[in-house]
């Protein structure tokens, strides 16, 4: 499953305890690394958290791509 986000999409920024910090437009988050976007299945809101499980690819293993 995926989530389609446009520049004007309102995104709820959540903290570590899933509490609302503020609501911003998606364009304000452009270029920021390690973000996880999800849609809340109960209210339909697009939410964003810091992705703590982000990984880096091993450049030597992926040099041929």
Range of the domain at 8: 1-65
Domain count, the chain: 1
The residues pairing with 50 across neighbouring beta strands, listed in sequence order, are 35
pLDDT tens-digit readout, 10-52: 999 999 999 999 999 999 999 999 899 999 999 999 999 998 7
Contacts of 65 (CB under 8 A, 6+ apart): none
Say what the pTM is: 0.76
Tell me the three-class secondary structure of the chain, residue by residue: CCCCCCCCCEEEEECCCCCEEEEEEHHHHCCCCCEEEEECCCCCCEEEEECCCCCCCCCCCCCCC
Q: Tell me which residue has tokens 């990984």.
A: 55
pLDDT confidence band for 65 (50 / 70 / 90): low
- The reported pLDDT for the residue numbered 53 is 76
């Amino acid at each position: 499953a995926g989530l389609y986000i446009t520049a004007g999409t309102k995104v709820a920024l959540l903290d570590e305890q899933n509490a609302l910090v503020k609501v911003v437009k998606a364009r304000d988050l452009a270029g920021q690394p390690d973000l996880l976007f999800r849609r809340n299945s109960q209210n339909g809101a697009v939410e964003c958290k810091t992705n703590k499980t982000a990984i880096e690819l091993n450049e030597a293993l992926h040099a041929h791509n």
